[in-house]
């Protein structure tokens, strides 16, 4: 039952992020950079606010501070824009997907911890790094599948949410030590 609760709230937090990404990608593909920027900022901002409002539903007593919320907005928006540009670049492969996703996700986790003035947790870095890498590989496949944008958003969100929920919030599954520091 705990997994379903965590999955639900994580999905809710992730849906605006992947919606922002999908629409930003679509607008850049149509040569509309301002719309791209607007949807990236909207996805990063809405996702960050939802994280702040609902994280305590997954981790009792958790409260996001203003610096963490602002760090999330900046990091998630930047990550969305980087991914949009990355997927428009020729010559990228699944290997570069893994490298970029791992570094981007782990960096986001580290940035969140630093903004909260907490130790950098290995589990959180691994969860976001692995989720980002797998999501990017999945996104590459989805962008080539020819599905509707809403099916792409739903599929990307489910994939990333499943990975993050299993690794980051199910402590009995993975044991990596207390923190990286």
Give the pLDDT confidence of 129-159 residue by residue, as tens digits. 888 888 788 878 877 778 888 998 998 899 8
Number of domains in the chain: 1
Structure confidence at residue 48 (pLDDT): 95
- Is pLDDT at 170 greater than 80 in this prediction? no
- The residue with tokens 């809710």 is 12
Does 63 fall in a domain?
Answer: yes
Is the pTM for the entire model greater than 0.75?
yes
CB-based burial of residue 167 (10 Å sphere; 0-12 exposed, 13-18 middle, 19+ buried)? buried
Does 30 fall in a domain?
Answer: yes
Does 64 fall in a domain?
Answer: yes
Structural domain of 132? 2-169
d(CA 140, CA 136) in angstroms, rounded, equals 6
Does 136 fall in a domain?
Answer: yes
Give 171's pLDDT tier (boundaries 50, 70, 90). low
Does 105 fall in a domain?
Answer: yes
Does 121 fall in a domain?
Answer: yes
118: tokens are 């907490």
Structure confidence at residue 172 (pLDDT): 57
Does 181 fall in a domain?
Answer: no
Does 29 fall in a domain?
Answer: yes
């Amino acid at each position: 039952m705990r997994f379903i609760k965590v999955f639900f709230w994580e999905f809710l937090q992730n849906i605006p992020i992947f919606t922002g990404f999908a629409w930003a990608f679509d607008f850049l593909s149509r040569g509309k950079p301002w719309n791209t920027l607007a949807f990236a900022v909207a996805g990063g901002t809405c996702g960050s606010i939802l994280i702040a409002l609902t994280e305590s539903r997954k981790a009792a007593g958790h409260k996001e501070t203003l610096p963490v919320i602002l760090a999330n907005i900046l990091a998630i928006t930047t990550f969305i824009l980087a991914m949009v540009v990355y997927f428009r670049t020729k010559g990228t492969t699944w290997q570069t997907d893994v490298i970029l996703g791992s570094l981007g996700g782990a960096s986001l986790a580290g940035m969140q911890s630093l903004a909260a003035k907490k130790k950098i947790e290995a589990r959180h870095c691994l969860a976001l790094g692995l989720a980002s890498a797998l999501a990017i590989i999945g996104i590459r496949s989805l962008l080539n599948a020819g599905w509707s944008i809403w099916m792409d958003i739903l599929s990307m969100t489910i994939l990333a949410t499943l990975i993050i929920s299993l690794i980051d919030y199910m402590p009995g599954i993975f044991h990596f030590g207390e923190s990286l520091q």
